[in-house]
Structure formats: C-alpha cells, structure tokens
Structure 1
C-alpha cells in the first residue's frame, strides 16, 4: 500500500509539537507539503521532512494531490481551509475548536460528505490514557450512577505556548474568535460528553477577560452544565493558572468518587464508599511542558487506512463546540441556554 500523502496547513506550535512529529513517526505517512504565510516556517519543515513549502493553502491544493490535510491555522480559518481541502478530495483533520459558529461546522460536515472524505476534529483528551482508563471504569458500573462532576483545564496562557508568544493570534479576537473557551473549554466539553456517554442539555456561564491585557478574547470561564440524564457539574477554562497547568476531572458517583489527573503519579484514583482505594498509573496526560504523543494523528491515519469514519467525527466536534457557543450566549444574555 502506498503511503498517505499529507499536507500540514499552519506551522505554529500545535504543528511543531504534535501534528508534524506524529506524522513523521507514522510509517504509513509521507509529508508532502507545509503551508504557512511566514514561508520560512514552512521551509524549515520541508527541509527536515522533505516535501514542499507554500505560503498559500489554495496554491498548495492546486499544485499537490494530497490524500489528507491537517488544518492547524488560527481559528477563523478552520472552516475555510477544511472546506477547500475537502473540495480538493482530501481527508481533513482540523484542530479544535473546529469552527467559530455552528453554521461553519455544518458547512464543514456537509463538504466532507459531499466529497466522500472524512472530517476529524483534534479532540485529544479522549485518547489520553488516564481518560481511556476512567471511561473503562465508569462503563464497568462499579461506581454506579454519576451524580455530579467538575472538570477544569487551565494553564498560564498561550504566550508561553504559541510560537509568537505575546504577539500570538490567540490574543487577536478577529483571528481567534474565542479565547480560553475555544482553546481549553471545548476540550473539556468534548471529554465530559464522551466520558459520561451523555449530551449537555443546559449551560449557564460566566465568561470574561480578567487579567490578560490588550485583548478582547476571554481568558477565564466558569460554566454550570446539566446533562440530558440530569447529572450536573462545572466546567472551567482558564489562561491565568500562573502556578501551572491543571487538567483534572472529578466525578462523584453513587458508590464513590473518581479523580482523574489530580495526582502526579496516580493518574486515576477511585475511592469507594466501602473504604477501598484503587490507584492506576496509566501514563500521563500530555501537557504543554511535557508533550507526549497525542494519539490524534495515529487515530486519523488508521481511520483513512481502514476506510472507517473517525470516532472523533465532525458531528462529534460540532456537539462539543455547541456547548461552548451556548456558554458565550449565556454570558451575553444572562440566561441559562438550552441545547
């Protein structure tokens, strides 16, 4: 079988740390093109991995016949580039948040369907070993029904992560559209939907810019969610956890509590009401400081090779996006928003 020809559009931090190296490690992939408006960035990867550098994705799609495209651009371009790639007959892996609006997300899903290609969204939280283990434990039923939860994702902000530091597009509202919620919150709405095998039915949220200066994008959000099954919980996204990253989830259940990502060595801890404590060392959750393989690229490539729809499909990405959009609506209207 010949290798899957892949183009990466956008050569910033997510490409540098995740997409490009993970494609590089995958024996079924040939990286054929890199695109970035700052052409030197694209040229750097073309030199390292082979392939050609382009400053325009439209030009690249005209020149190259690619099987798949990773869309790692600023948020406002996700839909535009994904749709163009699908129309060129390429499978699409798009970073989160998949789009800026529900309409964009729908258009992306429609473009993939029309062209008979896959659309996958880079929600890596589902693939991280502690979360996979937690889901297995939840599904085993030993904890009984989940009653309440809290899930949070915070770090000191994109200035430490982005290749452009404080000058990053993450802080420019016209390019980012949304801040901590689009960056981190959407990861947690995806995680909680998947962990609980449940959908969010209502959202009440406070979303604001508390500390980052000179930007209109949100740097903090606290949301209360009610799930279809009646479970209630909180979801927090923050760019002002200056003492370090938190990506933890706690689920309080009928028979005990499960803590994920709260302890440096024991990534999953189950404390049952009868006094038993189970500790699982299953491998860390990837952090900005400590990049472990996200699993996203392998999952994407495997779905192309098997011809099976990705588990983290465009539809799944859209459901997770809709939770975040509802939080912004709740902040704007002061009302609880039903999904």
Structure 2
C-alpha cells in the first residue's frame, strides 16, 4: 500500500511532542518535510527525523512532495496556511482553535470543499475513551434527562512546555488572538458538544487576564453555557492551575451523575441515584505531564481518513461550531451580556 506523504508546518512543542512522533509511529505514513520560520529549529527537527527542512510554507506546498500537512503554527496563521495548502491540493490537519474568526473558518471550509480535500481540526478530546463512553451512556438514556454539567481544563500555562517558554507566541495577542480560552476552552466546548450531542446556544462569560503579568491574552476564564434543549453548566479554562492539571467533566442527570477524568484511578465513574456506583477503567486522558509515547488518536484518525478516503472525523464545520462558542464567550465578556452563539 502506498504511504501517505506528510509535511509538518510549524516545529514547536505540539509538533515535536504529538504530530511528529505519532506520524513516525504510523505505518501508513512517510514523513517527508518540516517547515518553520526559525531556520535553526527547522533544521534541527528535520535532522532528527531525516527530513527536508523548509523555512517557507509556500515553497513546501509548491514542491509537490506532500499529500497532506499538519498546521502547527501560531493561531493567527492557521487559516492562511490551511487555505493555501487546500488550494494547492493538499489535505490539512489543523491545530485548534482552527481560526481567529468565523470568516477565516468559513474560508477554510470553503477551500476544502472547492478542492475536494480533507480538512480536520485537532480536537483530540473526542477520542478520549471516557468521553466516548459518556456519549454512549447519555445517548442510551443511562442517566436519564441531562440537567447540568461542569467542565474544566486548566494547568500552569504554556510557559512550562512551549519551546519558547515565556517568550512563546501563546502569550502574544497579535499571534495567539486568544489565550487560555483558545488553548484549552475550545477543547472543552468541542467535548461538551460531542458528549451531549447538542449545540451550545447561549454563553455568559468572564474572560480575564489576572495571572500572567508578562502576557496580553486571557489566562483565566469561567463561562456559563446553555444548550438547545436547556441544559446549563459551567466551563472553566485556565493557565493558573499551578498545582495539578484539571481536565475533568461532571454531567448531572435525572438518574445519576457521570464523573469524567475526575478520579485518579477510574477515568469514568457513574454514580446512580439508587446508590449504585460503576467504575470504568478506560485508560488515562493525555496530559502534557507524561513522558513516553503519545497517542492523541488525532493523527491516526487523520491518516486513516486520507489513506482510505473517508470523511474527516472532525471536519471544519465542527471546528467552526466549537470556535463560535469561544467567540461568543469573548463577546459576552466584553459586553457584559449573555451572548447567543
């Protein structure tokens, strides 16, 4: 079977810890090239993997050597690079948040459609075993009507793991556009939409910068969300959880409660109103703390979609819906109003 020829654009931490090692492990992949505007970084990563190094993504795309690329750049470049890649006939896996505006996101979706290429957004929380199981249990009516939820995604901040530390683009508004809400919050809106199988329609939010004095983006946000059927809940996204990462979600229903990634041993705990408790050991959620081989399932899903010509598992339309919630949260925080998505 012919292997899928892949290039990775942007050689920062997410490329080095997730995309490159996961592509390398994948038997359906031939890694061809990497690209980074930092020449030294591009060369050093290329050397490590035995690839060709580029410092200009247009040159890489024009080379005709790759069938698909991962876009692992600062947020403000996601859309222009993805659109350029799709227009040059290359499939795209883009990191989240997919874009910095709805217009940009729609341009990406349009480019994928026009060129008949796959666009996938790297929302890995859909592939976490506990989240998949929760979706299944909720769908089966296992905990009855859903009333409420709370979810959080917080850690000490990207300076702990970004290749550039405190100088990282994550903290610069003109490159990142949005801070913790774009880094972590968008993962959780996507996860909630996925497990509840409903759209979020209204948002009230405080999106603040109160923890990192060297940054000019948000680092602490708390949102109240309402879904189309009237489920209400909270979402917290933070770069100021300094002791331990929190990636937990709790769903409250008429017959019981589901606790996801909340217990150190069991990735899903179902607590029923009858007093019965069911513990599921489904393997740990991925965190930035762990060493060893990473498998976010995003890469294998993307490669499989390209190799087998299947639908993109997280298409641009889905990325846009999750982004729209974040944009509504920003607007709510600025206007001090509840905002419709």
Bin for the TM-score computed over the shorter chain? over 0.9
How far, CA to CA, are the matches of 2:64 and 2:305 in structure 1?
Answer: 22
Matching residue of 2:334: 332
How far, CA to CA, are the matches of 2:170 and 2:295 in structure 1?
Answer: 23
Instruction: Normalising by structure 1, report the TM-score.
Output: 0.98
Instruction: Normalising by structure 2, report the TM-score.
Output: 0.98
Residue 300 of structure 2 is aligned to residue 298 of structure 1: yes
Tell me how many residue pairs correspond in the alignment: 339
Write the mapping of 1:1-339 to structure 2, written as runs, cut at 5 A.
1-290=1-290, 292-339=294-341
1:65 positional shift: 2.8
For 1:272-298, what per-residue CA distance to the aligned partner results, in whole angstroms no more than 9, with x for missing partners?
011110001100000010263100000
Q: 3-state SS of the aligned residue for 2:247?
A: strand
How far, CA to CA, are the matches of 2:122 and 2:137 in structure 1?
Answer: 24
Unaligned runs of 5+ in 2: none
For 1:95-149, what per-residue CA distance to the aligned partner results, in whole angstroms no more than 9, with x for missing partners?
0000000000000000111111010000000001121222222222111111100
How far, CA to CA, are the matches of 1:167 and 1:64 in structure 2?
Answer: 34
How far, CA to CA, are the matches of 1:56 and 1:33 in structure 2?
Answer: 12
Contact 2:36 2:54 in 1 (8 A): yes
How far, CA to CA, are the matches of 1:112 and 1:14 in structure 2?
Answer: 23
How far, CA to CA, are the matches of 1:278 and 1:88 in structure 2?
Answer: 50
Q: 3-state SS of the aligned residue for 1:137?
A: helix
Q: 3-state SS of the aligned residue for 1:203?
A: strand
Of 298-307 and 45-54, more deviation after overlay is shown by 45-54
How far, CA to CA, are the matches of 2:46 and 2:242 in structure 1?
Answer: 35
What's the RMSD between the two structures over aligned residues?
Answer: 0.9
How far, CA to CA, are the matches of 2:229 and 2:284 in structure 1?
Answer: 30
Unaligned runs of 5+ in 1: none
How far, CA to CA, are the matches of 2:47 and 2:13 in structure 1?
Answer: 18
Contact 2:35 2:56 in 1 (8 A): yes
Runs of 4+ off more than 4 Å: none
1:39 positional shift: 1.8
How far, CA to CA, are the matches of 1:327 and 1:114 in structure 2?
Answer: 31
How far, CA to CA, are the matches of 2:142 and 2:215 in structure 1?
Answer: 46
1:40 positional shift: 2.1
Of 311-320 and 291-300, more deviation after overlay is shown by 291-300
